[in-house]
Structure 1
Amino acid sequence: MQINTISAYETSAEQFFEDLASWGVDLLLDTRLKNTNQLAGFTKKNDLAYFVPRLLHADYVHDKLFAPAPTMLERYLHGNIGWDAFADAYREDMRERDAVPHFFNRYGEYRSVCLLGTATHKRRSHVEVLQQMLEAATKA
């Protein structure tokens, strides 16, 4: 299984869908906690649920199990904790939720999965950590 990450921010719709197509994505897994507000632009949940199957002939799933805990995310976004502390807390949260086994039980049949997160030029996204955890599990 190939696992890529993509951000809902700081990209054009053209680049977003071109990247997904070039990776041969058959599942776009939306891991964002909030994906319906105006800041999501063209990546709102209902828009992606329409565009992904239509343009890519792929599945779109919003699975909040992989979203970071709201309080921890807010602390990171507001600069109260750094990336390393946030990433460590997210890893621990994913272990407690049994997220990696859930991922492979639910999505293991897909060939190319893209994890949708919220990285920007100034901040990193939890999907980076999730990708590392999933790739480590495939090598174990």
Structure 2
Amino acid sequence: MSKSVNLFTIGFTQKTAQQFFETLTKAGVKLIIDTRLNNVSQLAGFAKRTDLEYFLKQIGEIEYLHRLDLAPTQEMLDEYKKQKGEWSIYEQKFLQLMCDREIEKSVSPELLENCCLLCSEAKPHHCHRRLIAEYLNQHWGNLNIHHL
């Protein structure tokens, strides 16, 4: 069994920039993996891709990586958000998507050490970042998942 890996998750909504960046630096996060499909929206505020990448580096010396293979499809998002779909159906479809994409082969435990999965949802309960973390832990069995 390989050594355990600390993996964090965070959503930026309902947090001030100060809360967001202080939480990441206090946790010792070294890399943010942005799992959003759309990361350039004006609604993202300080978490808009180019701004976020700059702030992370300047404030916490945190690297930034955008991984579209960890994002839901537009169709899935629209079905869940715009058409007010059931979470259980979204969860099932998203987990199947992660399986089809075989993310456990394209992401490594080494990459995830002191890494934080980012999306917009304030809480992890109804968020795909939690599903990614749990999916990878099922495959590898060595993740300590911390929702910030």
TM-score, with normalisation over the residues of structure 1?
0.89
2:10–2:122 Cα contact (<8 Å) kept: no
Unaligned residue ranges in structure 2 (runs of 5+): 143-148
CA contact (8 A) 2:33 2:116 kept: yes
Contact 1:53 1:59 in 2 (8 A): yes
Letter in 1 for 2:80: Y
Deviation at 1:8?
A: 2.3
Matched to 2:134, the amino acid is: Q
Aligned length: 137
Q: Tell me the residue number matched to 2:48.
A: 44
Task: Give a deviation string over 1:41-78, Cα, whole Å, max 9, x none.
Answer: 00010011111122111210111110101101111112
Identify the residue that residue 16 of structure 1 maps to in structure 2. 20
Q: Which amino acid aligns with 1:98?
A: E
Give secondary structure in 2 for the equivalent of 1:116. strand
Q: CA RMSD in A?
A: 1.8
Structure 1 counterpart of 2:113, one-letter code: R
The farther-off stretch of 76-85 and 4-13 is 76-85
* Higher relative contact order, structure no. (Cα contacts within 8 Å, ≥ 6 residues apart): 2
Structure 2 letter corresponding to 1:124: H
Asked if the contact 1:118/1:124 (under 8 Å) is kept, the reply is no
Unaligned stretches of 5+ residues in structure 1? none
3-state SS, counterpart of residue 58 of structure 2: helix
Counterpart in 2 of 1:137?
139
- State the distance in 1 between where 2:111 and 2:15 align: 29
User: Which one of the candidate residues 119, 122, 136 is aligned to 2:121?
Assistant: 119
After TM superposition, give the deviation of residue 117 of structure 1 in Å. Answer: 0.9
In the aligned structure 2, how far is the partner of 1:68 from the partner of 1:108? Answer: 23
| Paired residue type of 1:89 | K
1:1-140 superposed matches below 5 A:
1-104=5-108, 108-120=110-122, 124-139=126-141
Percent identity of the aligned residues? 30
Give CA-to-partner distance per residue, 1:5-35, whole Å, 9 cap, x none. 1112121101111111121101100010111
Three-state SS of the structure 2 residue aligned to 1:9 is coil
